[in-house]
């Protein structure tokens, strides 16, 4: 489907009555524009040439009245276009944001933040400009061109035909302009996206840049992309510089042709001076569309490039669809892996998990240990179906996770991720994010379980303290405890803790573990950790190495094997 048809079908058609009304007003004001030169022509023929002063004042009053009527109508249709363009792009922006939340992890791995932001801001604004201004300008200029040609032919056919000498040349250069300028807009759009990504990356990583004193390096990297963006715009400007003067020059030639040929017609009595004045008065209605043609093509092609990017994002189908939550059986928390293997789509040569099998039931705790990169986080991500297993099956309550409603599945799982993310909101709101219907007593209860209550109370406004973006101002341990409280407030069937207590001291970790045992009676709990002390009381401990389970069992069983687990335990206990 052509992007313009797609825009009309999805975002403009719901406002078609407003558009029809606005287009009608454009037709009216275009028709009123025809009266101006006619009145001036009558003044020349009847007043200046004929000496009839009685008609002068009525004609002047008519000119002023028509001018005010046109001004009012122009204001009306421009406001209508602006209103429904805002409505259309508001809906488009919402659809993009909804699509953003439908996308799975693979999409965000493959697409730059700057590119996504460019689509939701710059591209949407370009589309708004197209609907609000380019659409009615195209129609208005078409009306001016059509009406002026009709009037010019009625006044003097030979003089009108003399103007057509310029038209084929104008058409030739206009087509050349469209062909050459379109690819430059795509290049500008890509460069702008990369520029956005560089800025977004540096805003997020500003602390790292400062910590390594690499400001100069980052400025140089930005400037390199900035210059590339400048170069792409200059290339586009070069195309316009090559063709616009020609188009403007050819449009300006129209006036010269009218004066030369029309003057000869007046001298030879083929037309009156008034007719020549009227003819010349309509010339602007012919010349302006020709001059505007290049600019409108520019905006049209720029809008088309933006629409293609927006449509491309909205047409993406997530590999793991998010259906609406259905009222079905509650998830109890039985989890089983059957010969599960996994690799990322962009690198199928590296197996992240290999033939992983285990099972657990509600009330049990599974501890997962292993070196960095052994596949621990990926394993628990398959339970929430952030990714799908390549081989084997992941079962929840005896059913393959692919057969569960994805939203319902995730609604029954709380995950405290390794990379803690907090919103720029109050402390209480961050905890209540998982359960917005919870009252303050529930929020404080889970904060105490996560050993966060005492430090929250010590903040300037307690639970009403606004947390900086991404938790700025809080320590790593404090952020982890808030994230844990958020997960506990959800009261899930399955609780996944991915290295949740790595940034807290041993005493705090022990207290949190004791509290988790109290609330985890009916929950299936997965604990990923580097500290053996975090998982030694688990009902099942899995030791991963390069995606494979190399050891499994309870603490006592694994200690008796004197393998990897026992070695790590003795090393860590020996350093305390």
Instruction: Compare 282 and 12 and report the one with higher pLDDT.
Output: 12
Query: What's the chain's average pLDDT?
Result: 85
Q: What is the pLDDT of residues 493-519, one digit of tens each?
A: 999 988 877 656 677 777 777 767 766
Confidence of residue 359 (pLDDT cuts 50, 70, 90): very high
Tokens 């609604």 correspond to 411
DSSP H or E segment with residue 298: helix 273-315
Res. 569: pLDDT tops 70 = yes
pLDDT in tens, 250-305: 777 777 788 888 888 888 888 878 788 888 878 778 777 877 776 787 788 888 88
Tokens 């405290």 — which residue?
Answer: 416
Q: In the chain, where are the structural domains located?
A: 3-315, 420-491
Q: What is the CATH number of domain 420-491?
A: 3.40.50.300
pLDDT of residue 327: 58
What is d(CA 498, CA 419) in angstroms, rounded to the nearest whole number?
9
pLDDT at 326 over 70: no
- Domain covering 3-315 in this structure, CATH number: 1.20.1560.10
Q: How far apart are CA 277 and CA 43, in angstroms?
A: 10
Alpha helices for 103-156 (secondary structure H): 105-110, 113-118, 124-129, 135-155
Q: How far is residue 136's CA from residue 296's CA, in Å, rounded to a whole number? A: 11
DSSP 528: E
What pLDDT digit, counting tens, does each position of 378-398 carry?
Answer: 999 999 999 999 999 999 999
Does residue 335 sit in helix, strand or coil? strand
Q: Which residue has the tokens 């285990």?
A: 358
CB half-sphere exposure, 197, CA atoms < 13 A: 16
* Structure-token pair, residue 437: 């219907």
What pLDDT, on the 0 to 100 scale, is given for residue 91?
94
- Return the bridge partners of 340, or none: 356
Q: Which residues contact 551 (CB under 8 A, 6 or more apart)?
A: 541, 542, 543, 558, 561, 563, 564, 565
Of 336-340, 456-460, 519-523, 562-566, give the range with the top mean pLDDT: 336-340
Going by C-beta distance under 8 Å and a sequence separation of 6 or more, which residues neighbour residue 450? 481, 482, 484, 485, 488, 512, 515
User: Which residues, in sequence order, are bridge partners of residue 366?
Assistant: 526, 540
Stronger pLDDT, 472 or 66, i.e. the higher one: 66
């Amino acid at each position: 489907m052509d992007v313009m048809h797609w825009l009309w079908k999805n975002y403009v058609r719901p406002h078609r009555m407003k558009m029809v009304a606005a287009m009608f007003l454009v037709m009216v004001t275009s028709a009123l524009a025809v009266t101006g030169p006619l009145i001036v022509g009558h003044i020349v023929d009847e007043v200046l040439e004929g000496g009839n002063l009685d008609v002068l004042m009525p004609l002047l009053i008519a000119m002023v009245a028509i001018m005010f009527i046109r001004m009012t109508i122009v204001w009306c249709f421009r406001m209508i276009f602006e209103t429904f363009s805002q409505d259309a792009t508001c809906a488009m922006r919402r659809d993009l944001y909804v699509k953003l939340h439908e996308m799975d992890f693979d999409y965000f791995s493959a697409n730059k933040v700057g590119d996504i932001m460019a689509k939701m801001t710059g591209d949407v604004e370009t589309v708004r400009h197209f609907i609000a201004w380019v659409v009615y300008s195209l129609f208005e200029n078409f009306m001016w061109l059509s009406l002026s040609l009709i009037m010019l032919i009625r006044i003097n056919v030979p003089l009108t035909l003399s103007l057509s000498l310029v038209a084929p040349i104008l058409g030739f250069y206009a087509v050349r302009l469209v062909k050459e300028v379109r690819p430059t807009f795509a290049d500008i759009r890509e460069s702008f996206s990369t520029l956005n990504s560089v800025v977004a990356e540096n805003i997020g990583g500003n602390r790292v840049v400062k910590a390594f004193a690499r400001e100069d390096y980052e400025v140089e990297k930005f400037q390199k992309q900035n210059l590339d963006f400048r170069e792409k715009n200059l290339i586009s400007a070069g195309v316009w510089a090559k063709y616009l003067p020609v188009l403007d020059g050819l449009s300006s030639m129209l006036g010269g042709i009218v004066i030369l040929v029309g003057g000869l017609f007046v001298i030879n009595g083929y037309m009156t001076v008034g007719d020549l004045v009227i003819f010349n008065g309509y010339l602007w209605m012919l010349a302006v569309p020709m001059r505007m043609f290049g600019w409108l093509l520019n905006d049209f092609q720029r809008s088309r490039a933006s629409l293609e990017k927006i449509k491309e994002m909205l047409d993406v189908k997530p590999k793991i669809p998010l259906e609406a939550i259905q009222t079905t059986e509650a998830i109890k928390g039985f989890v089983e892996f059957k010969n599960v293997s996994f690799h990322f789509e962009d690198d199928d040569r590296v197996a992240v998990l290999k033939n992983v099998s285990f099972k657990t039931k509600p009330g049990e705790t599974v501890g997962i240990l292993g070196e960095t990169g052994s596949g621990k986080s990926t394993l628990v991500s398959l339970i929430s179906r952030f990714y799908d297993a390549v081989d084997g099956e992941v079962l929840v309550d005896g059913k393959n996770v692919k057969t569960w409603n994805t939203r319902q599945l995730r609604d029954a799982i709380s995950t405290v991720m390794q990379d803690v993310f907090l919103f720029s909101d109050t402390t209480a709101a961050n905890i209540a994010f998982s359960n917005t219907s919870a009252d303050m007593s529930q929020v404080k209860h889970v904060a105490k379980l996560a050993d966060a209550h005492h430090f929250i109370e010590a903040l300037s406004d307690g639970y009403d303290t606004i947390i900086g973006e991404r938790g700025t101002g809080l320590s790593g341990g404090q952020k982890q405890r808030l994230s844990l409280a958020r997960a506990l407030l959800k009261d899930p069937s399955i609780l996944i803790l991915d290295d949740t207590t790595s940034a807290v001291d041993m005493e705090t970790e022990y207290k949190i573990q004791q509290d988790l045992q109290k609330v985890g009676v009916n929950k299936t709990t997965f604990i990923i950790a580097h500290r053996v002390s975090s998982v030694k009381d688990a009902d099942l401990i899995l030791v991963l190495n390069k995606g494979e389970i190399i050891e499994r069992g309870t603490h006592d069983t694994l200690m008796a094997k004197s393998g990897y687990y026992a070695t790590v335990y003795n090393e860590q206990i020996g350093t305390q």
